[in-house]
Structure 1
């Protein structure tokens, strides 16, 4: 595994690195700059070449020092505390999105089914607030304006959508979207995408 890799094994790598203090956030399944730095840190402490790549020797050493990650370690509920739901989120099927807490809660009849970290547009391309509904889903979407991948896109207001962001997974909150709601955990949004239907409500609030 190396920079740009993604998938279940990357998530396991991150969870194992987190067990021994080399990865300080929830596993994302994306091998970005933070993961490279974590692997280099681990390699340096173990006298291995600081390549930042999870080669066979590095992986074996890590396996010997860690335990099989639990489901909770692989997919923590969220790294941020979910906000108190807006009253508009309390009935029906709702993507309840708080700008203040930077979280998305998938709610059905007032119950939080799942939650995940999100980021928003910049001050120049703000994410719209209000009550909307999902009007189009596109699993392998690519932006026609910015020519960037928008996997698991669920459009709710014109060109604004909830979607997975590899950039968010790699850079965290140092970046911003062009108005969309970015999700950094691919596993969580893949599960969400499978559950959400066209017509489900979207509430974006401050």
Structure 2
């Protein structure tokens, strides 16, 4: 996908992927779901119950459904019917992996430690952090990368353009704190849960707090290393 900077007329690709209803595309909340609460037992019932701190019996209850629906609503998982399906458990499983990373996200040494300050992006765990050599500078923080067909490209890159108030003319969507590092793919903030499926159109989405921090810590020419593969792509 391509987007143009309204003020500069520059062409860039990799705008935020928002494949939800238009209100979400424009940064609003997803419309309320009219569907009733599912009383069917999902294939990941026990895992979902354990994650939510519910009694783990593998049987759907009204309370289980209510707790699952609240989780789905918070993170933009549709349909919001409280069913313990693969998408809901996939998000929860990813959260568990991110929690396990703790303060040693580069324990496996996959992000280079000989480049000085570098922003690391682990697509598999949907995590990013900034390190300087082996020292962790900031993070790790959850991110939202490209969905299937619009993957965030892997490899060693550099921040080549920063635009604090970037706007995509394709969707007329603001992309605050944009830091472009590969053919239009950029770090930038979005008004969405970082676990909102299925993902972006290639950009690395961040919360406003994270995007602001990355803006303060990175500069043009700083390196970015992207590796791994987003689940489901």
Q: Which runs of 5+ in 2 are unaligned?
A: 1-26, 30-66, 68-72, 76-97, 229-233
**Which residue is equivalent to 1:151?**
176
Offset of residue 165 of structure 1: 1.6
Q: In proportion to residue count, which structure has more helix?
A: 1
**Which residue is equivalent to 1:60?**
none
Which of residues 200, 212, 221 is equivalent to 1:199?
221
Q: Which runs of 5+ in 1 are unaligned?
A: 6-23, 25-32, 36-77
Deviation readout 1:88-134 (Å, 9 max, x if unpaired): 24431101111112110111122111111112111111110011000
Which of residues 209, 218, 221 is equivalent to 1:187?
209
Which of residues 187, 205, 215 is equivalent to 1:162?
187
**Residues of 2 paired with 1:146 and 1:83: CA distance?**
36
**Residues of 1 paired with 2:111 and 2:154: CA distance?**
14
- Counterparts in 2 of 1:14-33, with a 5 A limit? none
SS in 2 for 1:119: coil
**Which residue is equivalent to 2:110?**
86
**Which residue is equivalent to 2:74?**
34
Q: 2:168 touches 2:175 (CA, 8 Å); kept in 1?
A: yes
**Which residue is equivalent to 1:133?**
158
- Counterparts in 2 of 1:92-131, with a 5 A limit? 92-115=116-139, 116-131=141-156
Aligned pairs, number: 135
Higher normalized contact order (CA 8 Å, seq sep 6+, divided by chain length): 2
**Residues of 2 paired with 1:147 and 1:89: CA distance?**
38
Q: Normalized against structure 2, the TM-score is what?
A: 0.51
Q: 1:89 touches 1:203 (CA, 8 Å); kept in 2?
A: no
**Residues of 1 paired with 2:100 and 2:198: CA distance?**
17
SS in 2 for 1:161: strand
Offset of residue 173 of structure 1: 3.2
Q: Normalized against structure 1, the TM-score is what?
A: 0.57
Kindly tell me: are residues 98 and 142 of structure 1, through their superposed partners in 2, closer, same or farther at Cα, counting changes over 3 Å? same
Offset of residue 147 of structure 1: 2.6
SS in 2 for 1:192: helix
SS in 2 for 1:106: strand
Q: 1:80 touches 1:117 (CA, 8 Å); kept in 2?
A: no
**Residues of 1 paired with 2:172 and 2:160: CA distance?**
21
**Residues of 1 paired with 2:146 and 2:136: CA distance?**
25
Q: 2:144 touches 2:204 (CA, 8 Å); kept in 1?
A: yes
- RMSD of the TM alignment (CA)? 2.8
